[in-house]
């Protein structure tokens, strides 16, 4: 039997990597983990967490406006970007410390270095040039923003990475993309007082979400003053006298202080030495894995965004836990991707689980669609025009709820709980016999007694 320096070597200290290393170490394995930037990875350092903190920051201006309807007089308010960034950085540093503490507490060796594969069992640490060996390797190197190199002037643009550390807020921003990161940042910047334009080549923002919610969110964002240009693309970005000049295909010349590209994310596999270890990738550079996150090389696993399956933090963590079961507990476990609740932290928010009406229409012969659109109670006194949308998609034959979709305040929080009900296989009858909790917006989910319409063979009837 060959001997190795470590039982497990993990490359990448993000959501999936840290979980794999910490739990394996806590099982008594000899583990090392290498991170080239900061522990916590995308989610903690420049993804979910700082983004949500920015979302909160961007909502205050509406809270101040709403307060008047409830009798409050709010004095003159002002916003200090630098103060927000500093406060956010403080929290991120605290979380990074907790990640390292967890690893150290489990006796994992923490390496602050870029790591590359030399062969299927050997890893080189670039900081020192030292090589180490491991019986098992987990690659959890995540992804990075697609730089859109084909766009002339792409080097003048920023990505979400830089958006977290702008020296100052621009007067205007143009964000390219129609995915959740583009949409969330459009709402963040608009809420902080930046004149915001979103440009997207598709017919409607947020493809793959339920059509109703996509349209509802588009209308709500436009009503707030966010300019959304669909079915258009940037052709070039140049420096002008007052910021950047953007040539578009359909909307002519636009100007913006900053252009942010949010056009998808590429797997972080460049220069990783995958070829030396014989690890196969697809045409996008994502590592190919089987149902258990094992690569084509027996002792090397890959999980999280680098495999380009579902790019979400809880999914990367779940894949890590399945790896632990498979490799160290003699319990081969496949990650379960069915019914993943997701949110878009736009304003208003989207929370969703299960199939969209369009997807469900392709899979089921007949559907009942329960739909409610209403003004939430808070908006009556605040005077805000925003409407909430709630939808349940029900398979008429089995009465199972196969999709639940919400647009409005706290939609993400509701989607997490709806995720449990759908996972448990709840039927519409289960929803009907659940007592309403009054007065809440969520009570609408258990009081939609008659279908709003039906879909048969994909057609609305």
Ligand X SMILES: Cc1cc2nc3c(=O)[nH]c(=O)nc-3n(C[C@H](O)[C@H](O)[C@H](O)COP(=O)(O)OP(=O)(O)OC[C@H]3O[C@@H](n4cnc5c(N)ncnc54)[C@H](O)[C@@H]3O)c2cc1C
- Which x/- pattern, by CB under 6 A, does the window 60-99 give for ligand X? ----------------------------------------
- Residue in 172, 313, 347, 421 binding ligand X, rule: CB under 6 A: 313
Nearer to ligand X, 141 or 197 (CB): 141
C-alpha span between 86 and 279 (Å, rounded): 41
- For residue 68, give the DSSP letter: G
Of residues 392 and 415, the one with the C-beta less far from ligand X: 415
46/164 Cα distance (integer angstroms)? 7
Distances from the Cα of 152 to the Cα of 161, 178, 241, 243, 265, angstroms: 20, 20, 18, 16, 19
Q: Quote the distance between the C-alpha of residue 242 and its chain's center.
A: 33
Give the span between the Cα atoms of 123 and 282, in whole angstroms: 22
Q: Does 20 bind ligand X (CB under 6 A)?
A: no
Tell me 195's DSSP state. Answer: E
With respect to ligand X, which residue has the nearer C-beta, 181 or 402? Answer: 181
In terms of CB distance, is 360 or 407 closer to ligand X? 407
Measured distance CA(239)–CA(128) in Å, rounded: 41
Total binding residues for ligand X by CB under 6 A?
Answer: 35
Q: How far is the CB of 144 from ligand X (least distance, A)?
A: 8
Tell me if residue 438 is catalytic: yes
Given candidates 9, 12, 229, 324, which one binds ligand X under the rule CB under 6 A? 12
| Pairing status of strand 300-302 against strand 172-176 | unpaired
Pick out residues in 346-385 that bind ligand X (CB under 6 A). none
Query: Which 229-288 positions form the footprint of ligand X (CB under 6 A)?
Result: 268, 272
Q: Closest CB to ligand X among 10 and 455?
A: 10
Under the binding rule (CB under 6 A), the answer on residue 51 touching ligand X is yes
The CA radius of gyration of the chain, in Å to the nearest whole number, is 24
Site mask, ligand X, residues 127-166, x = CB under 6 A? -------------xxx-----------------x------
Burial class, 242, CB count within 10 angstroms (exposed 0-12 / middle 13-18 / buried 19+): exposed
Rule CB under 6 A: say whether 316 interacts with ligand X.
yes
CB of 76: closest distance to ligand X in angstroms? 32
Instruction: Find the angle CA(129)-CA(133)-CA(137) to the nearest 5 degrees.
Output: 110
Question: Does the footprint of ligand X cover residue 114 (CB under 6 A)?
Answer: yes
Candidate residues 48, 166, 321, 426; the one interacting with ligand X per rule CB under 6 A? 48
Interstrand relation of 265-267 and 143-145 (parallel, antiparallel or unpaired): antiparallel
Nearest approach in angstroms of CB 395 to ligand X is 27
Q: Which residues are catalytic?
A: 438
């Amino acid at each position: 039997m060959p001997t190795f320096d470590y039982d497990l070597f993990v490359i990448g200290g993000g959501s999936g990597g840290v979980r794999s290393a910490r739990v394996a170490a806590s099982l008594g394995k000899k583990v090392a983990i290498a991170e080239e930037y900061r522990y916590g990875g995308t989610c903690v350092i420049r993804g979910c967490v700082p983004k949500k903190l920015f979302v909160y920051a961007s909502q205050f201006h509406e809270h101040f406006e709403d307060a008047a309807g409830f009798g409050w007089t709010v004095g003159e308010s002002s916003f200090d970007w630098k103060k927000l960034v500093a406060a956010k950085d403080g929290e991120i540093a605290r979380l990074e410390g907790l990640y390292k503490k967890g690893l150290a507490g489990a006796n994992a060796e923490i390496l602050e270095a870029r790591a590359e594969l030399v062969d299927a069992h050997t890893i080189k640490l670039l900081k020192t040039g030292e090589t180490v060996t491991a019986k098992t390797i987990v690659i959890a190197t995540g992804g990075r923003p697609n730089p859109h190199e084909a766009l002339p002037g792409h080097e003048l643009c920023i990505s979400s990475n830089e958006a977290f550390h702008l020296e100052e807020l621009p007067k205007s921003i143009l964000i390219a993309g129609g995915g959740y990161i583009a949409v969330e940042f459009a709402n963040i910047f608009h809420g902080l007082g930046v004149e915001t334009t979103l440009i997207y080549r598709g017919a409607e923002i947020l493809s793959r979400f339920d059509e109703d919610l996509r349209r509802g969110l588009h209308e709500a964002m436009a009503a707030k003053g966010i300019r959304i240009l669909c079915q258009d693309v940037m052709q070039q970005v140049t420096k002008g006298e007052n910021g950047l000049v953007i040539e578009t295909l359909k909307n002519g010349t636009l100007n913006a202080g900053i252009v942010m590209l949010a056009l998808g994310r590429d797997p972080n596999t460049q220069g990783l030495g995958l070829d030396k270890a014989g690890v196969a990738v697809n045409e996008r550079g994502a590592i190919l894995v089987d149902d258990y996150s094992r690569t084509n090389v027996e002792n090397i696993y890959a999980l999280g965004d680098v495999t380009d399956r579902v790019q979400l933090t809880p999914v990367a963590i779940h894949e890590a836990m399945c790896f632990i079961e498979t490799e160290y507990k003699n319990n081969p476990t496949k990650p379960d991707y069915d019914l993943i609740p997701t949110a878009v932290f736009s304003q208003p928010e989207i929370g969703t689980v299960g199939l969209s009406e369009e997807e469900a229409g392709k899979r089921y012969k007949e559907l009942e669609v329960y739909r409610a659109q209403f003004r939430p109670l808070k908006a009556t006194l605040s005077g805000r025009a925003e409407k909430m949308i709630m939808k349940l998609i029900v398979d008429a034959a089995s009465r199972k709820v196969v999709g639940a979709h919400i647009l409005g305040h706290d939609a993400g929080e509701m989607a997490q709980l709806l995720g449990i009900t759908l996972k448990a296989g709840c039927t519409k009858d289960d929803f009907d016999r659940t007592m309403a909790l009054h007065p809440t917006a969520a009570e609408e989910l258990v009081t939609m007694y008659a279908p709003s319409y039906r879909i048969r063979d994909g057609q609305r009837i």
